Structure 1
Amino acid sequence: MNLISLQIETSNDFEKNLENLKNLIISCKDNSIILAPELAIVGFAYYKMDEAAAFSEKIIEELKKLSENKAIALTTIIKENNKFYNRLFIFYKNKILHTQDKIKLFPLGEEDKYFTVSKENSIKIIDINGLKIATLICFELRFPTLWEQIKGADVILNPAMWGIKRKDHYETISKSLALINQAFVIASNSANSNMGKGSAIISPFGELLRDDSKTILEAKFSREEIEKVRRYINIGLS
């Protein structure tokens, strides 16, 4: 499959953001795994959480339609029982294949004041066309205990809204995750002016495809590369 990271800006206009994302997805090849930045359509809409959650219903239906021959992953704001969650959706074959709530909220961004942490640890490895896929959402990248939970994944997704002041942290940690877990990492960070960009597709050997000037980053998944690194540097992931 093709591995695709989208590096896009998020405005205050939900409709505009959705149309932009849809057009980018349509432009991508079939048989791709496409990752958008964290909350790419609604952003951290603390001043209109109910509106963002209501709009998420439209997001879900629109992206289902585009997922017939493409796997699409993004997070959005969901409201349940008067609580808000930053929830990952993975769409494939016109269905919701997987959902996962963010469990590590970033205190400096006041996420813990607006979002609820899921009571269930929903981080797990799922299967898409024989590929083992796992996701860590933005700040969760900083927790090695979570890396342990996704050992054996072929591809690790990281949708992010990572600030520009810690850009080096994002780039360093995402590369380290690929090396330690011997997996491909798709890192998709926001391109807003206060965000760090640094989106990348990183191989199990740490080879980087990264370009802050691009909106779409694309690379081919290689089973052989994973098998080679796990055979020569055997740390028990396969």
Structure 2
Amino acid sequence: MISKRLYSLQFKTKQNFEENLATLKNLISKCREDSIILAPEVSLTHFSYQRMDEAAEFAKEATEELLALSREKTIIVTMIEKNKIDYFNNLKVFHRGELLHKQSKSRLFPLGDEHNHFKAGSEEEIVPFEIDGIKCGAINCFELRFTEIWSRLKGCELLFVPAQWGKERKDHFETLTKALAIANQAFVIASDGANDSMAKGSAIISPFGIVTKDDEKEIIFLDADLTEIKKVRRYINVGL
């Protein structure tokens, strides 16, 4: 058995950015060393359309603190960042004290007016990357609805889905994340926000579609048996 401790965080985002960072750091401190931790989408600031400059500036502080925390843990977050005059929703992977991977959200949610505030990133940034020899990929919230993005990450063994997914479409989030795990025969870590308008539904899903979740908890974890990936791909061969 080759095991890896996986964590999905599920917590409320408040108006105070510093308080949100303190909450995230506290939750990370409760996670085991040599683990992989996913936080909800823009959990440090929420979308904060009226405070975009402030949120982008705060991302610099948060990045430095998360880099330090990632020396013994892998941390995946998304944050608002600015490049020249444009704002991006950037997913960042911190690993062994370094920025291992970064991609900008390429599909912006029209019902949330994201397209009016963010510049879409390029889908070319959505590529596999490795964490301790595990082939990984990330899909940021609304991107989950586009199966062509799933195809870009074909063969990944671990997939991250940070989100701020509305409670009206809770079933969609839970169904799509489970389908992503089964279709890609991979472990999926899904992390949704816990504000009153959010679906929650954060989970860790096995390649066989077994779901570990609890809408009442801020920390959901699983000691994932990575040999399950080879097992399902060998016995249910779909070309992965």
**Length-normalised TM-score, structure 1:** 0.98
Contact 1:158 1:186 in 2 (8 A): yes
1:39-83 C-alpha deviation (Å, 9 max, x unpaired): 010100100100000000000000000001100000000000110
Match 2:83 to one of 80, 91, 96: 80
Question: Are the equivalent residues in 1 in contact too, given 2:104–2:122 (CA < 8 A)?
Answer: no
The residue that corresponds to 1:171 in the other structure is: 174
Q: 1:168 to 1:120 in 2, by over 3 A?
A: closer
Matches of residues 155-234 of structure 1 in structure 2 within 5 Å? 155-234=158-237
- The whole-number CA distance in structure 2 between the counterparts of 1:128 and 1:7 is 22
Conservation of the 8 A alpha-carbon contact between 2:108 and 2:120:
yes
Q: Which residue of 2 aligns with 1:104?
A: 107
1:50-129 equivalent positions in 2, closer than 5 A: 50-119=53-122, 121-129=124-132
Q: 1:144 to 1:100 in 2, by over 3 A?
A: same
Which amino acid in structure 1 is aligned with residue 65 of structure 2? Answer: E
What is the aligned-residue identity percentage?
49
Unpaired segments ≥5 residues, structure 2? none
- Pair 1:44 & 2:77 matched: no
The list of structure 1 runs, each at least 4 consecutive aligned residues, that deviate by more than 3 angstroms after superposition, is none
In structure 2, which of residues 19, 24, 47 is the aligned counterpart of residue 21 of structure 1? 24
Contact 1:103–1:121 (8 Å) recurs in 2: no
Q: 1:112-132 deviations in whole A, cap 9, x for unaligned?
A: 000001246200110111111
Residue 135 of structure 2 corresponds to: 132
The separation in 1 between residues aligned to 2:123 and 2:27, in whole angstroms, is 33
Aligned pairs, number: 237
The superposition leaves residues 110-165 of structure 1 with CA deviations (integer Å, 9 ceiling, x where unpaired) of 00000001246200110111111100000000001011110111100000000000
User: How far apart in 1 are the matches of 2:82 and 2:58?
Assistant: 11
Q: What is the TM-score with the length of structure 2 in the denominator?
A: 0.98
SS in 2 for 1:205: coil
